[in-house]
Chain A
């Protein structure tokens, strides 16, 4: 993929340096129903119970199948997130730590990245507008990092005239730098849902009402290709729209496509920075129908779990899709209609070998192709999806560690 140097030992070394407190769901947040669900998953699908997913990844380099409580970046004492913001910025904002050379501008809208002219283009400054309305141009001393995410980073580039020449010209945006890959390769984790009504209310212990997860490996290659997590609440937003009941007490399993094959794109529809970009994920459009079939296989696995004690005894009935929905065709149709995003957009400024891949936006050092003085450090640089969520891989400080190592070298 052209991501030289982004190997397992390097990644794990960087993760080890994170301040975030990442740990399996604390025992006091594990309720009996989800514990019994874990047991039933293991029995019904003949997969191991995993006590610590991250530990398993660390020791074995990954895993194909397993079920257990998730590792969560949180503080069990107060239930608060342990995000990059909490772990790194809050101590400085509160005065607990000193960082005198740090200035944070909030309520500041960045509208353009300014480049120096040919022959050697360099990112020199950004235009910002502060909330009171006045505008500033801020110049970087040495380098800029764009970390606005897989949607807003390419959005800023496109609005700055950095992107596919044709798209920019069609919108009347002055082309500063023709970069065809900006906004392409839009990836996501689509997810569907099954809902059961419970005989009684869900026990109250939880971290985030989604504490357990299951990973299946259909082809036995050692990489999970179906993922499901629990919703310990009636997550009925999409099923209700289709007319399904929303039971008061519910348990959900959510077939999810860890490595989807459908690839979308994002683009601007206007040169007006206030107009939101068009996000066309092209969900379920892969010609082999791998993505749709993954949902179907997930539904069938979930039903096996629902038939297995001790979990079975908690269930009153399957609400959605309902037992009358049985064929692959009907399950696929239902699954796609109630599918939702899990908010993992990625890939829109992908990393690659910039000497060979015309669609690569950044090289392995995260520098934007053909522009000096600017790098991208967010989920947009990943050329393909990771199996689970992006929270740790895109942790800003993780990237900084990578960048700092690059710079120091």
Chain B
């Protein structure tokens, strides 16, 4: 028996077309895991409003507590399988 994670990608062009990977971020197949607050890096730093050295910057950050952790490769199947006598399935 084998346990995997993620939805099926069969006939799902959103996943199958490699060039479309960016559209998966934040989409329906996204795991939407987030990091805990990361004080030393990975946007946003707590309490930081903007990065000062660049004069072009004026947009305040959002209050997002941590970086959204996207699972872009979510394509496998949460499944169980029964296999041959040794219990391990192989395609060979």
Residues of A at the B interface (CB closer than 8 Å) are 19, 72, 74, 79-81, 83-86, 88-90, 92-93, 97, 99, 101-110, 126, 128, 138-149, 151-153, 156, 190, 206-209, 233, 238, 240-245, 276-285, 292, 320-322, 324-325, 330, 333-341, 343, 391, 396-397, 400-401, 403-404, 407
Chain B residues with CB under 8 A of A149? 5, 71
Whether B47 is near chain A, meaning CB under 8 Å from some CB there, is no
CB distance from B74 to the nearest CB of A (A): 9
Known pairs A80-B16, A81-B15, A89-B10; list 9 more (Cβ under 8 Å).
A103-B80, A138-B1, A238-B43, A242-B43, A279-B69, A281-B35, A284-B41, A343-B72, A403-B88
A337 and B43 form a contact (CB under 8 A): yes
A397 and B91 form a contact (CB under 8 A): yes
Chain A residues with CB under 8 A of B36? 278-280
Closest 8 CB pairs of A and B: A243-B57, A336-B41, A142-B87, A148-B5, A284-B40, A243-B59, A140-B1, A284-B41
B43 and A340 form a contact (CB under 8 A): yes
| Most A C-beta atoms less than 10 A away, residue of B42, B56, B57, B70 | B42
Task: Compute how far the CA of A343 lies from the CA of B61 in the bound complex, rounded to whole angstroms.
Answer: 23
Task: Compute how far the CA of A71 lies from the CA of B90 in the bound complex, rounded to whole angstroms.
Answer: 26
Chain B residues with CB under 8 A of A105? 78-80
> Which B residues between 9 and 55 are near A, CB-CB below 8 angstroms?
9-10, 15-19, 21-22, 31-36, 38, 40-45, 48, 50-51, 53-55
From A138, A141, A208, A280, give the contact of B18 (CB < 8 A).
Answer: A208
Question: Given A90-B10, A279-B36, A396-B4, A336–B50 Cβ distance below 8 Å?
Answer: no
Question: Given A241-B44, A241-B62, A400-B89, A93–B10 Cβ distance below 8 Å?
Answer: yes
Question: Given A208-B21, A340-B42, A242–B78 Cβ distance below 8 Å?
Answer: no
Chain A residues with CB under 8 A of B75? 81, 83, 85
Majority-rule SS of B interface residues: loop
Majority-rule SS of A interface residues: mixed
A148 and B51 form a contact (CB under 8 A): no
Chain B residues with CB under 8 A of A335? 41
B17 and A104 form a contact (CB under 8 A): no
Closest to A147 in B: B4
Task: Compute how far the CA of A152 lies from the CA of B89 in the bound complex, rounded to whole angstroms.
Answer: 21
Residues of B at the A interface (CB closer than 8 Å) are 1-5, 7-10, 15-19, 21-22, 31-36, 38, 40-45, 48, 50-51, 53-59, 61-62, 67, 69-73, 75-91
Chain B residues with CB under 8 A of A140? 1, 87
CB distance from B79 to the nearest CB of A (A): 5
From A83, A103, A334, A340, give the contact of B67 (CB < 8 A).
Answer: A340
CB distance from B32 to the nearest CB of A (A): 8
Task: Compute how far the CA of A81 lies from the CA of B18 in the bound complex, rounded to whole angstroms.
Answer: 5
Task: Compute how far the CA of A72 lies from the CA of B44 in the bound complex, rounded to whole angstroms.
Answer: 32
From B53, B78, B81, give the contact of A334 (CB < 8 A).
Answer: B53
Chain B residues with CB under 8 A of A403? 88
Question: Given A106-B8, A110-B3, A276–B45 Cβ distance below 8 Å?
Answer: no
Chain B residues with CB under 8 A of A101? 82-84, 89
**Complex A-B: 13 CB contacts under 8 Å:** A72-B18, A126-B80, A139-B1, A140-B87, A144-B1, A207-B18, A207-B19, A241-B61, A243-B51, A243-B57, A339-B42, A391-B73, A407-B88
Task: Compute how far the CA of A102 lies from the CA of B87 in the bound complex, rounded to whole angstroms.
Answer: 11
CB distance from B30 to the nearest CB of A (A): 11
CB distance from B16 to the nearest CB of A (A): 5
Closest to B58 in A: A243
A242 and B41 form a contact (CB under 8 A): no
Chain B residues with CB under 8 A of A337? 41, 43-45, 48, 51
Task: Compute how far the CA of A284 lies from the CA of B78 in the bound complex, rounded to whole angstroms.
Answer: 33
Closest to A83 in B: B75
Chain A residues with CB under 8 A of B76? 84-85, 147, 396
B54 and A321 form a contact (CB under 8 A): yes
Question: Given A106-B79, A279-B33, A337-B44, A322–B54 Cβ distance below 8 Å?
Answer: yes
Task: Compute how far the CA of A97 lies from the CA of B90 in the bound complex, rounded to whole angstroms.
Answer: 13
B69 and A109 form a contact (CB under 8 A): no
Closest to A90 in B: B10
CB distance from B49 to the nearest CB of A (A): 9
A233 and B22 form a contact (CB under 8 A): yes
B42 and A281 form a contact (CB under 8 A): yes
